[in-house]
Structure 1
Amino acid sequence: MSVKKTVKKQYVQIVDIAAKQLVSLRKPPEGWLSVLRKALGMSGAQVAIRAGVSRNAIYQAERNETDGAITIKQMQKFAEAMGGRFVYAIVPENGAVSDIIQKQARRKAEDRIKRASAHMALEKQSLTSEQTAQRIDDLANELIRDMPADFWKVK
């Protein structure tokens, strides 16, 4: 196995492990800052003192988190002020990295085979639905194996 493939495999493992650990984790509607603060029984003023900011900055940060406008640095600072640790990850929405790759390969394969089938139909050389399905599967596997430069290109 080449170094490039080994490194890619390691990246896939990192993402897949994180995805499995976070499968049921969802941000609470009021945001993590507010939830942790309330779980600890801390007031905004108490967090503000620990973080070295104004009380208003805490409430603004909580609003910004729910609006998606808070920075990673702010999340880290306020999490640490409450004795917590800010963690973030980007993981596949459903399943594993291989599922995303498989879905993209299948989409590309279906598109290519359908275009070729349209030309073949004009020449009265149509494939059966079983042959078409097999060609799509074969091409999708080839695309996954070779990962051409245009693999992620959207039409």
Structure 2
Amino acid sequence: MRTNRQIILEQLDQKSSLLLDSKKNSVSDKGWVFSIRKGLNMTLEQLGNKLGISKQGVRKIEESEANCSISIKSLKEVARVLDMQLVYGFVPNKGSFNNYVDDKAKELAVRIVMRTHQTMQLENQGNDETVIQKAIADLALEIKQEMRRSLWD
């Protein structure tokens, strides 16, 4: 039976999968506002008029986007005056949120099992590699199913 958290992860994966192609086609270093304005053959002054600001103000918007200091609110406003919609999201580097959580759960399981294994070795009670790997896999599955908060420590 799937838990609510598993369903939420699946939904996040579905939503973020729509953004995967856009990850491959990133915009120029000058940003979206500049690229769209140039693509539409719009002057700084024309976009400024739509925004109710000077062309220097538009230049500042473009520069702040290029150096990653622009606010989402500003981007939404530019999109609004251009009759567009700002779309943003997060795409996990591991390909999916599910893979991301799997990796984190395995990392935590390895730390826990190996800490226990080292203690047992000191007492000459260590386990063989097969038992250790099974313990890691079992614990990682349990951690993922419980979605322990310790995943993020």
Structure 2: which amino acid aligns with 1:87?
Answer: V
Residues in 1 aligned to 2:110 and 2:98: alpha-carbon distance in whole angstroms: 18
Q: For 1:9 and 1:141, how far apart are their aligned partners in 2?
A: 12
Specify the code of the residue in structure 1 equivalent to 2:123: E
Q: RCO greater where, 1 or 2, for CA within 8 Å and sep 6 or more?
A: 2
After TM superposition, give the deviation of residue 39 of structure 1 in Å. Answer: 1.0
Identity %: 25
> Is the CA contact 1:37–1:82 (under 8 Å) kept in the aligned structure 2?
no
Report if aligned partners of 1:31, 1:65 keep a CA contact under 8 Å in 2: yes
Deviations 1:28-57 (A, max 9, x none): 321010111111111111111111111111
User: CA–CA distance in 1 between the matches of 2:138 and 2:15?
Assistant: 30
Q: 1:13 to 1:28 in 2, by over 3 A?
A: farther
Residue pair 1:19, 1:95 contacting (<8 A) in 2 also: no
Query: Could you tell me whether the CA contact under 8 Å between 1:15 and 1:91 is conserved in 2?
Result: no
Which segments of 5 or more consecutive residues in structure 1 lack a partner in the other structure? none
Secondary structure at the aligned position of 1:24 is classed as helix
Equivalent residue for 1:20, pick from 17, 21, 38? 17
Q: Which amino acid aligns with 1:24?
A: D
CA–CA distance in 2 between the matches of 1:107 and 1:79?
Answer: 41
With the length of structure 2 as denominator, give the TM-score of the two structures.
0.88
Query: Partner residue of 1:123?
Result: 123
17-26 vs 115-124, greater mean Cα deviation: 17-26
